[in-house]
Amino acid sequence: MSEGLPPVVRLGYDLVRNFEHLPPEKAAVELATHIRKFWEPRMRADLLARVRRGEPDVPPLLVLATEHLVDDHVDRAEVKEPSGG
């Protein structure tokens, strides 16, 4: 099913298969948490862009998960630390 798809969409399908046994909203939160923890910023940005364009190959549960993601997520603990400049 995911043959020929862009890498982030293929990975998204793999994640969806791992979390689809959960209720949709819980699965979306778990997916978003996994993506935030383990995907590099370029991958997250690519996924968000595909969802914004409404690409039909992005699974609905993955679209729901992106509602829990924010572009360029900032770790507030890091912001509190003074920079070296």
pLDDT tens per residue across span 36-66: 999 999 999 999 999 999 999 999 999 999 9
Identify the pLDDT of residue 70.
Answer: 72
Note whether residue 18 is domain-resident: yes
Torsions phi, psi of 70, nearest 5? -125, 140
- Spatial neighbors of 69 by CB under 8 A, at least 6 apart, are 32, 35, 36, 44, 47, 48
pLDDT on residue 79: 47
What value does the mean pLDDT of the chain take?
Answer: 86
59 belongs to a structural domain: yes
Range of the structural domain that residue 76 is part of: 7-80
26 alpha-carbon distance from chain centroid: 14
Q: How many domains does the chain have?
A: 1
Phi-psi region of 43 (alpha: psi -120 to 50; beta: other; left: phi over 0): alpha
For residue 3, the model assigns a pLDDT of 72
**pLDDT at 1 (0 to 100):** 54
Task: Let me know: does 65 contact 32? Beta carbons within 8 Å.
Answer: yes
1 domain-assigned: no
Q: What percentage of the chain carries pLDDT values higher than 70?
A: 80
